[in-house]
Every structure is written in structure tokens, then in C-alpha cells.
């Protein structure tokens, strides 16, 4: 099917059809279908780890409990201020905001778009992600502007004896 363009037009000295390309750039219908099938294979393999982690998570179902962690003393956090901490492990950065006298909220502050750290802008009363200007509502964690679509995971906090503790990571309501 490929020699259609390789015919020497007439029998004289051949100056024009002397490059032999060996069809190296050919992509025919069959080759294209082969590529598509191969791509399906790549997709299949690449979803395996997600499935595996999800299965693992399903086995050890339920709320995982972590030891409560002290974030700060109440007297060090003024109303409208925020404190950075990490919870539940040292690799999960999080942020605590004191919204009013008795209202504390805390979120894991890896942006739900591409995981940049979200920070609290006191003057605008909003959590802002510097990377692509995602914004989150401080009292619920819900995204209000920009690329993020998923709320920030909330962290339950508790005030005991003048100190603020992180208790657990809230699960999303299904």
C-alpha cells in the first residue's frame, strides 16, 4: 500500500526519485490502532497503584486515630491570626485559624489543585493559594475561586487547659 509514491515516473535518468526513505515516517491505519491499543495498556497500568492504595484504605476502614497534637497555647493566638503546624504526620502541613473568640478552624493546607501551601490572608478573611490564585472559605474549607474543586480536608481541634490540640482529620461527608 506504500509504493504509490515511489514509482519512477518515466524511464529516463532518474534525478527525482532517488531518495529511499524506507517508509520511516509511515503511520498507517493499523499502526495508529496499535498505538491506541498500547495507550489503553498504559492507562490500565497507571491506574493500578491508585486502585491498590484505595483497596488498602478500604481494608483498614474507619477513622484513623492519631495521638492528639498540641498546636499552640491559646494566649499566643490572637483572634484573626493563624498558626502553621503539621498533622497527622510531619509531612502534612496544616494551618490553624482563630476566627473569633471561641471559633478555631484547622485544615490541611495543601491546595486541592496542585498541592501548593494555602495561607491565610487576614485582611481579606480568605485562604489563598499563591500558585494559581485559588481561594478557600475559611469557615468551611470550601473552594470559592480559582482552579480548586475540592474542599480542604478539615482537622478537628479541641481546646483543653489553655492549649489547642489537633484531634483528627475529618472525613469528607459522602
Partner 1 sequence: MKRSYVGVLILAAILLMNIVFTQLVVHQYYYENYGVTLLYAGLNILLFPVALFVYKNEKNKGGSKGYEK
Between 54 and 142, CB nearer to partner 1: 54
Q: In what order do the strands lie in the sheet with 126-129?
A: 119-121, 126-129, 134-136, 143-145
Interface ranges with partner 1 (CB under 8 A): 1, 4, 28-30, 32-34, 36-37, 39-41, 43-44, 46-48, 50-51, 53-55, 57-58, 112, 149-150, 171-172, 174
Q: Does 148 bind ligand FES (CB under 6 A)?
A: yes
Between 113 and 168, CB nearer to ligand FES: 113
Would you give the distance in Å from CA 19 to the centre of its chain? Answer: 50
**Residue 57 CB, nearest approach to partner 1 (Å):** 5
Taking only Cα atoms into account, the Rg of the chain, rounded to an integer number of angstroms, comes to 29
Letter string b/e over residues 87-106, b meaning 16 or more CB atoms within 10 A of that residue's CB: bbeeeeebbbbbeeeeebbb
**Residue 119 CB, nearest approach to ligand FES (Å):** 11
Amino acid at each position: 500500500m506504500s509504493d504509490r509514491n515511489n514509482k519512477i515516473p518515466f524511464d529516463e535518468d532518474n534525478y527525482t526519485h532517488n531518495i529511499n526513505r524506507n517508509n520511516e515516517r509511515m503511520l498507517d491505519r493499523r499502526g495508529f490502532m496499535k498505538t491506541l491499543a498500547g495507550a489503553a495498556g498504559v492507562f490500565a497500568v497507571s491506574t493500578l497503584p491508585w486502585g491498590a492504595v484505595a483497596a488498602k484504605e478500604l481494608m483498614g476502614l474507619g477513622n484513623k486515630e492519631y495521638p492528639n497534637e498540641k498546636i499552640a497555647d491559646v494566649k499566643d493566638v490572637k483572634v484573626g491570626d493563624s498558626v502553621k503546624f503539621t498533622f497527622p504526620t510531619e509531612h502534612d502541613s496544616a494551618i490553624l485559624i482563630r476566627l473569633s473568640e471561641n471559633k478555631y478552624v484547622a485544615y490541611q493546607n495543601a491546595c486541592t489543585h496542585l498541592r501548593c501551601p494555602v495561607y491565610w490572608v487576614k485582611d481579606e478573611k480568605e485562604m489563598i493559594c499563591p500558585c494559581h490564585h485559588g481561594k478557600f472559605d475559611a469557615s468551611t474549607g470550601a473552594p470559592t475561586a480559582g482552579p480548586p474543586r475540592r474542599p480542604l480536608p478539615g482537622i478537628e481541634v479541641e481546646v483543653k487547659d489553655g492549649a489547642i490540640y489537633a484531634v483528627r482529620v475529618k472525613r469528607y461527608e459522602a
